[in-house]
Amino acid sequence: MLTILKLLVSAGLIYVVNEIVITRSRPFLGSLIASLPLVTLITFVWIWFGMQENPAERTEKLAAHSTGVFWFVLPSLPMFLVFPWLLRKGIAFWPTLLICCLLTMVLYAGMAVLLKRFGIDL
């Protein structure tokens, strides 16, 4: 039952953002909602309720997850500038999406190497 609830809430958020942008023609509001760390917050809740039997482990997992999200948000940010730039340059949607995914993967790998170099192990 919890799995179904997780799926419904998670999919519902994506649907709501899509409906606000497409149906209501409110790109600003859709962007604002999409930019909120809703997935991360929902994940915090799923971890919290999913690990009630071991509070110490739950606390550590939540802290580790939050730290990891922080460090990996940083290399994902350039995608949000490159994506519209490529589209406006006339590159089609799918190649633009692929380029942005590859760029983000490279930046994620670079961030992991950089963090390891400074002794931060995620």
Domain residue ranges in the chain: 55-122
Residue with structure tokens 């039952």? 1
Token representation of residue 16: 């709501």
pLDDT at 83: 97
How many Cβ atoms are within 10 Å of 92's Cβ, its own excluded? 10
Nearest by Cα to 46 from 64, 61, 67, 68: 61
Task: Write out the E strands in the chain.
Answer: none
- For position 31, what pLDDT does the model report? 77
Location of structure tokens 């509001």: 29
Q: What is the reported pLDDT for 36? A: 77
Are 75 and 108 spatial neighbours (Cβ–Cβ below 8 Å)? yes
CB 17: neighbour CB atoms within 10 A? 19
> Residue 85: its pLDDT value, please?
98
pLDDT given at position 113:
95
Closest CA to 54 of 64, 65, 62: 62
- The three-class DSSP label of residue 52 is coil
**Which residues of the chain, if any, have pLDDT below 50?**
none
